[in-house]
Every structure is written in C-alpha cells, then in structure tokens.
Structure 1
C-alpha cells in the first residue's frame, strides 16, 4: 500500500508534509497509510492571506450571497461523498457512522444556507433586536447591530468527526463573512484534506476563505488578535492549555471550547419494563455506546435508572449489546468498527480501569471478544463495555472520568431529585436525556438540571418516530455546555453566526439608523411614492417609500354589520352600558379586525399587479379605541425588502392607522410577496 501525503493548503498553495511530519495508521489494520505535518509552514503568511484576501472578499458579499455559496458547497460535496465514504472507512467508521459525519456535515451546510436566506438580510449588517427609543420624541434612537469580525477563525477539530466537525464550524463562520483556517486532528486529517480539496476545486469559495493545516499549528495562536476567533474541540487539558496562554488572554482573543462531557441519560420513574419508554431507553443507550465506537462527544457515559430497575436495564442492555457485530467497518454486517487508533484504544482501556475502581464491569471483556473480518490484534478494536456502580453517591471517578469509547456506567437513583443530583455531578455536559411519558417528570428535570447541561433531550412514545436521538447535535439548536463541557456554544442557527461577529450599539437619528441597517425606522425620512406602491415591482420599491391614504369614517352601522357578518358580538361592540363599565372603552367601539379590514381597503390597489400575495402580518397592536363617528387613515411605508428567489421577494411594510386627531389607533407590519 502506498503511503499518502496529507498536505496543508496555505496562502493559496498546497504544501506537502515536511519537517516534523508524523505517520498515520489505519484503524483497521494498524498499517501506516499516510503522513502529515510540516513545521515549516508560514503561519503568519496564512493569517495575512486570510485577513486581507479572504476576509475582504467575504465581507463584500451579502449574507444571502454567502448563504448561496454555502448551499453550493453542500451540493458539490454531496456529489462527491462516495469518495469521502471510501476513505473514511480507514478511521474505523462504518457506513452508518459516515451518515452521521459526512451526510450530517453536508446537511448542516444546507441548514445554515437556508437560515441565512430566511432569517438574515440580503445586506451586510445584521440587526440584533428592536429599536430602542432613547429620547422623548423619538429623534434619538438606539439599536444593536452585528458586523463581521475583521480577522480569521482558527478551527481546531477533534479526530472523531473529520467532516462534520469541520463543516459545523465552517458554515456559521463563512455565513458571518469570516475566513477560516482549519486544523483537523492528525489521526483523521486525510479525510478532512479530501473534503477541503473537493470544496476548493469547486471554485465556489473566494481565495483566502478557507485554508488547511494538516499537522501542528506552530505558533499561529501566538499571532492572533482581538479580531480573531479560536474554536476548539478536544480534551479539557488541551483546551485549558490553549485558552490560558498569555497571548490569548492579553489580546482578549475569542475562544470557544467544546471538550470533555460526561453525558447522562435518565430513565423516568414511569418507564417500567414493558413500556415503550423502557424499550426506547435501552435502544438509545445501545446506539450511543456503539455509534462511532462510542467516540462521540455526546455519547451516553452515565446511565441513571430507578434503583428497582437497574438490574432490568443491565439485562436488557446486555442483550442488545451482545448482538453488536464488531469488525471491519467496510462489511455491511458490521455494526461497530474500530477506534481511531491504537493510542486511543490504550487510553480507553486506561480510563475503563479507573472506572473499574468504583464500578463492576457487567458486560464486555476487552481480552475476549470476536472481530469479524479483521485481525483484532492489529486493529484498534474493543467491545462495548458496561459497568455498574452500586454506590454512585460515594463514587467520584464515574462522575469525572470519560472513557472516550464504547464504555458506559449504570447507576441507580432513589427519587427524581436524586437522579437530577447524579446527572449534575458531571459538572457540566453537552447533553442529558430523559426518557419519560410524564410531562411533570420532564419539567422537574428541566428545572433541576438545565443549568448544568447544554441540551436536554426528552423522548417517549409520542415523539420516537421523528426524534433525532440523544447524541445528535442539530444545526438549529445550540451545541455546547457549561463547566466540564467547556462553557462554549456552537450551532444554534443564527446564534452560531453571531459568535463570529461583533455586536455594536449604535445611537443616532432615525435617518442614521435607517441608513446603517437598510431598514426603515419610524421617524426617518419618507419618500413619496411616484405611483401606488402596489403597482411597483420589487426592484423598483425603495426603503422608506410611503403611501398616505384619505380618511374613512367608521359608523355604528359598520360596527353592527361586522358583528353580524362575522359572529363577533363581544359586548364592547354591541352593549353601550357594558362597554362603559369596561375601563378600556368609552362605550361601544369598533372591532380591531374591522379596523384592519378598513385599513386594507384604504391602501390596497385592487388590480392585477406585482403584489402576488399577502403572507401575513407581525407585531399587531391596538393602541386607542375607535368609536362610531371617528375616522381612520393609513400610512403604508416600505420597511424592508428581502429577496426570496429569482421570481419574487418579500416586502415588509410598516403600517400605521391614525384617527382624526392624528393619534395612533393601530400599528403592524404587513408582509407581501412582490414580483421582480
């Protein structure tokens, strides 16, 4: 077998392994398959290239441009994923594991691309929150904005997910407009390198947006500044060493860590043997112990069950684990492959021995197990190992030692408060799960354990068919956790994008805020529409373009007809004496929805035109009642424009309804789809 040279991609050039390179062995056979590393990399040149070339190019793009770019990357990777599958087998991963890593990573790109188009503007400034009125008359306002950091994101990734681990960080980074330097774990860097080559060769990314370090970073972290970000996934010891470096602290370099996590799963007191929840619990634990050979930051390490159900859990779980076929991951019958390396296997055995000081191994003998289709003595294979801790209150190591492999420990709890206490003994985790059909059990755990866990996963017979599993971080939800888990936060949709941006408070006049955010702010200059705005196409409309209508008088006959026609005969509209007793009304008043209907009648252009559909309204408020004899008129202003596809875009209109005294009676935002 030829040995593959795993190169770095630095400042637009591929750099082969050189001084300081190290060998990489196959997890299946133990044979050297690759070499990676070059201590002579010009790390300053890489940083300069990212900041000046990559960052500049990305910041010129809008959020929607970047979202389209990310979607194109995902589609391109999807066309080449078979090559990634074929190579990834050497890491010990099975085909099912590839779906988590490779397909999961591609799926994450698609989600961020979609969220970028749906939840972010087609512009360069992200508005974070509502406008704050800082003066009596509204001439001085404030708002928070987010803009891209003008540095580089250094991503230091773990060995267990060479594709997903890169893409889940890369997606929000690129969407924010920040270039990335990716440093994968050396043991699986050959898979990451192939994924990077595929992306770069597509021509989709601007120059400098993505660079790769296969091997060590050298002194790169000592050259970072306040505009840079380090996002780290790995051990707590390494995270502490990196984040506490004087240069990182002195320059306030953002450091995001996702590290050791003793995740727990709680079997609810209602989930007795024979219930769907008990079977689900056993299945979830078995899957989390064996997927990726237990090498998942979200895997279940502590199994917390009612004391009277511990033996039943051990028996049921042992029965499922005994059916797990361990072997060459390329075989279709294999259900669990090898650990990533011989070194990782030794580490797991060392940690298992520590757990064995406080817990009894009740399933899985590392000295006596079968390996299908491979030499168990040469590859990094281990069986699933289940321990039982009879006294979890007195134990310490089962709550602070993570064997990063197919290892988990069962322990019993007396009551639900005790279960929560045991789960929290891990001092911070990425995820804790609760299998229960009792909503009050879920509530009690959420209140008691929420502060110690980045994600709480609840599942039962109602959600089992569509649930994604205890160990699946989703791009829509935050991934991270307090304390031992690193105190960091990734993913979470747009929340993850904002980690690579600076939040800035801006203050000024309505016109200033409108210009910065490209979104009309009440009080800003209004532009007189050259024609009815509903006759103007999406591209013709301008932010601030305003239509003011003639007034319409609301009569008692209108109110009674609306009540009769709709069936809304609420007393405030129909009974004068009852309405007068209500502290909010002077007497009989018009229906709020009658006012909305009349408002639409005042501003709508009825003929066929570029307005394709009314898709809803947001932020509706009724501020002052309207009585019979009052008149209303409408101000309709283009607040925001968001392209949706090549045929139409979304227009957000600010609508204000006022009475004859120029007092606001209603306010809302109207959404329409307008043709280009």
Structure 2
C-alpha cells in the first residue's frame, strides 16, 4: 500500500514566497509554513497573497486570455493530453505529496492523481465539441448561437480533496478558452494549487493563463469582487459559500457553489448487514469524514439496527488511525486543530442532547478515532449539522415514508444512497430524496468525473459541475446574425 517518493516535479524552492503566473517570479506579500497534519513536520513554505496581489494576478490573467481563446481547438486540447501524461509520469510522487499534505492515506492520494488524469482527458475533449447551434431565422439571415468563454474565471478550492476539487474547475475553464485565477486553501496549497501549476507549466500552457495564489479571506474577497472576473467557482462550506454568493450577486457575477449539507444513507430491513455496515463505515469515515458527500446520517430500519450497530462498533474499534502516508493505517488525522475541536464539540453536544456514544469520541493529536453515535434524531446537533468528521450517526425508522421524511429534514444535500436487494423499492425511495446524486446499493461518496455534480439547497446554488454541465458552466451564449447586405430601413 505504501508508495516510494520519487522527486522530480515538485520543488519547494520554486514557490517559497511566490505566486505562479506561468513562471515563479512574482513575490507575494507574506509567507507561511505548511505542516503535515500527521507529524507536524514542515511540508512546505508558501507565499500568502494580499488583496493587491490578487488584483495583480487578475490583470495578468486578463491580458493572456484573448490569445488563448483565439488558439485553435486542437492546440488547446493538446495541452491537456500532455498534462494527463505528466500526471501519470509523476503518479507516485504526487500521490505521496497529497497524502502528506492533506493527512490522507496513500490510496486517497492515488485516487486524486488518477482522477486528475481523467479530468485532463475530459477537458481535452471540450474544445473539440460543437460550440453552438444554427437557429431558425427569416430567409436571407444566418442566425447562430455560439458558446464563448467568460474571460477570467476565479476558482477557490478546499482542503479535503484539493487536487480534484480544484482541477475539476480549472481544467474545463481553461480548455473552453478562459484564463483562471486559482486560490487554493492555505492548508493545502501544494496539493490544491502548485501541483497543477507545475503540471501545466510542463505541459506548455501559455504563460499568464493560470495564476495560482494561496491566500486568506482578504485575497478571496478581492477575487470575488474584481469586476474583471465574471465568474467564480467555489467549493467549500455553506457559511463561506453564502458570503461568496452574496458578494457575487452584488457584482452581477455568475457563481458556481458546491457546498455540503446532509447526506443520507438509508438501509432497509432486507439489506445484508455485513455489506450495509461496510458501506456505512466507508461512507462515514473515509478521509476522516472530511468529504462533502460523506454519509452524515445512516438511517437504519429498526429491525436491523442492532446488527448494523454491532458491526460498526466492531469496525470502529479495530480500524487503525495514524499517519496516512505511512501505508499502515486506515484513517489519518484531521486537517488541523480548529477542525478537530469543532468536530469534537459536535460530538460532545450531541451526546449531551441524548445521543449515545457507542465507539470513539476521543483523539490523539489530530487523529480522531472513528466514532459511532446511536439514538440520533432531529434536534441533535450531529443530525442537524454537517459534522465533517469521522462519525456514523445511526438514526432508526419504521416505514419507508418515515425514512424519506427524516432524510428530507434538512436544508438540502449533495448525495444520498439506499441499500436493499429490492431495487424497485429502493429506487422509489431514492426518487423522493432531496439530493443531487442518488446511489442504489452503494454508499454516498461517489464521483466519476463524467457526471453532473451538485445538489439543492445548502448543497450549492442549484447548478452542477462536471461532465455535461461543464460547457454550460464555463461559457456563455452569444447570438450572431449574418446578412449578405444591409436591408432598407424606414428611417
């Protein structure tokens, strides 16, 4: 399971105190150390952008964009095929770096790099697709609706799956003729930013088109309000998403928000307990539950609840937690102390409100043990909020209608799942759930890059990214008409 480190692409000296603007020559206002969550050791030292730094980056991106949009589609596509190849060539090095910086296990880092390869190939296909339609019109006039790039797209990416969740916006936005200014989370600036910068630098992306600047809220707000950036793509918490949505609305920008919410895994009474408990454990605990699709609520029919509880407690007791990059554990640390303390408070409050702690509920350093709560119901914090940590919240129900009612007791969510050998019944339940993605006989953490990804309510702003949604997201319509000669007008 372990991966040997083979340096070659990543070099901390390149970005120490600097932004990426196609090269590594732009110094940022301040610098900050980034530590590995598992060990506390220095992972990298990076520059931190100010509002002025961000504004300068937007200007550089704007200057580079027009020539890129005018480039032939095959030339643009070739950059992404080369990028995919570079990800493959440096697979082990990048997977290990992601595991170390994010606190994930090595297979999680490998997954991010594999998906990056796929995202680049999908992006390469976008310039080669039809870019518009010929519309019906009056005789003698050619009427065309075509898709054109926005110009500069701002991307703000999170810490949990930083490579995938940044690249899924960066790659299609670039491929469709935009320039991109990327602000990765300051806790994962290499995985969420500088890996992409190095890959596209090596792939021959023209200078200036991709700007990468880690930064705090000041830099993010400067990007969101800059009038030269007509679109913002954000992945992160509902609290920050609401702020970005409000600012973007004031400045009449298009905004793509992928947030979070409640994700429900429903286990019917005819489900196999072993298979269902395995799905629930993975959905709740993978990458320490720090996933926007994590199975926040595990709704179990009361007749099978004890069997599921017993199996989950057994798994929680035996799963090893520690340094994910070691290749010896199933779960790594939380991203930082702030995130751990917030999650621990959710657990403590939930127990005080009536939930029963069946396993876990404690931590060593940043490593939080996989946790199981039973007796969870509406009004308990771990039911009402997205915990964003390694907890399996068991909620019991008696009827299908009650399961649907409990699942839909939320402000929305990204994913849901139903487990039962009665596929028709499970699908009927799934179709009633308020979620953007529904999986039958699976858990909630699923994405294939070719699918639209999003959800209602606090899951986002009603839109989707990925697959067939990308052309709609990262371009806009322009109507063009052509006549052989100007007609005569009555004025």
CA shift in 2, pair 1:396/1:144, >3 Å:
farther
Q: Which of 264, 278, 283 matches 1:283?
A: 278
Q: Tell me the equivalent position of 2:147.
A: 146
Aligned to 1:111: 122
Residue 393 of structure 2 corresponds to which residue in structure 1?
409
CA-to-aligned-CA distance 1:229-254 (integer Å, 9 cap, x gap)? 11111111111122212xx3233111
Determine whether 1:491 maps to 2:473: no
Change (3 A) 1:309 1:331: same
Measured after TM superposition, the shift of residue 384 of structure 1 is 0.7
- Matched residues in 1 for 2:73 and 2:429: separation? 39
For 2:295, the equivalent position in structure 1 comes to 300
Correspondence for 1:363: 359
Task: Answer yes or no: is the 8 Å Cα contact 1:11–1:45 preserved in 2.
Answer: no
The secondary structure found in structure 2 opposite 1:479 is: coil
Give the Cα–Cα distance (whole angstroms) in 2 for the partners of residues 303 and 32 of structure 1.
38
- Distance, in Å, in 1 between the alignment partners of 2:220 and 2:374 is 43
Residue equivalent to 1:566: none
1:127 equivalent in structure 2: 132
Q: Secondary structure at the match of 1:297?
A: coil
User: Is it true that 1:459 corresponds to 2:454 in the alignment?
Assistant: no
5+ residue gaps, structure 1: 368-375, 461-468, 513-676
Change over 3 Å in CA distance of 1:493–1:193 after alignment to 2? closer
SS in 1 for 2:412: coil
Structure 1 residue 434: deviation in Å? 1.2
Whether 1:445 and 2:455 are equivalent positions in the alignment is: no
Q: 1:51 maps to what in 2? A: 62
Q: CA deviation at 1:264?
A: 0.9
SS at match of 1:299: coil
1:323 to 318, 324, 330: 318
Q: Which residue of 2 aligns with 1:171?
A: 171
Structure 1 residue 165, shift from structure 2 partner? 1.6
1:24 maps to 2:12: no
Superposition map of 1:513-662 within 5 A: none
Q: Is the 8 A contact 1:112 1:493 kept in 2?
A: no
What is the rounded CA distance, in whole Å, between the counterparts of 1:218 and 1:409 in structure 2?
A: 34
1:320 deviates by: 2.5
**What is the alpha-carbon distance in structure 2 between the residues aligned to residue 303 and residue 92 of structure 1?**
25
Distance 2:38 2:203 in 1: 34
Tell me the SS of whatever aligns to 1:308.
coil
Q: Post-superposition shift, 1:349?
A: 0.7
Pair 1:350-2:345 in alignment: yes
SS in 2 for 1:489: coil
Q: Which segments of 5 or more consecutive residues in structure 2 lack a partner in the other structure?
A: 1-11, 486-491
Distance 1:116 1:268 in 2: 45
Higher relative contact order (CA 8 A, sep 6+): 2
Say whether 1:387 aligns with 2:398: no
Residue 243 of structure 1 contacts residue 249 of structure 1 at CA under 8 Å; is this kept in 2?
yes
**Corresponding residue SS for 2:25:** strand
Matches for 1:6-17 after TM superposition, within 5 Å: 7-10=18-21, 12-16=23-27
Q: How does 1:63-102 map to 2 (within 5 A)?
A: 63-88=73-98, 89-102=100-113
1:500 aligned residue (453, 464, 474):
474
Deviations along 1:19-56, whole A, 9 cap, x unmatched?
A: 3x444332012345444314275333211221121x11
Q: State the partner residue of 1:613.
A: none
**Which residue does the alignment assign to 1:60?**
70
Q: Which residue of 2 aligns with 1:224?
A: 226
For residue 201 of structure 1, what is the aligned residue in structure 2? 201
> Which string of whole-angstrom CA distances, capped at 9 and with x for unpartnered residues, describes residues 504-556 of structure 1?
345567x99xxxxxxxxxxxxxxxxxxxxxxxxxxxxxxxxxxxxxxxxxxxx
Cα displacement (A) at 1:16: 4.3
**Structure 1 residues 86 and 227, CA gap change in structure 2 (3 angstroms):** closer
Counterpart contact for 1:87–1:191, Cα < 8 Å: yes
Aligned counterparts of 2:215 and 2:118: Cα–Cα separation in 1: 27
**Residue 657 (structure 1) aligns with:** none
CA-CA distance at 1:358 after TM superposition = 4.0
The 1:415–1:43 alpha-carbon spacing in structure 2 relative to 1, beyond 3 Å, is same
Give the 3-state SS of the residue equivalent to 2:318 in structure 1: coil
RMSD over aligned Cα, in angstroms?
A: 2.7
- Which piece of structure 1 moves more, 26-35 or 344-353? 26-35
Shift of 1:141: 7.0
Alignment map for 1:234-249 (pairs within 5 Å): 234-245=236-247, 248-249=248-249
8 Å contact kept, 1:435–1:459: yes
Change (3 A) 1:280 1:132: farther
Match of 2:407 among 423, 427, 448: 423
Larger helix fraction of residues: 2
Residue 263 of structure 2 is matched in structure 1 by 263
SS of 1:411's equivalent?
Answer: strand
Quickly say closer, same or farther: Cα 1:414–1:504, change in 2 above 3 A: farther
Q: Does the 8 A contact of 1:475 with 1:491 survive in 2?
A: no
- Cα separation, 2, equivalents of 1:453 and 1:403: 18
Instruction: Kindly state the Cα deviation for residue 260 of structure 1 after the two structures are TM-superposed.
Output: 2.5
Deviation track 1:357-412 (CA, whole Å, cap 9, x = no partner) reads 24212121305xxxxxxxx33xx11111111135x3x5353443122111121101
Q: What is the aligned residue count?
A: 468
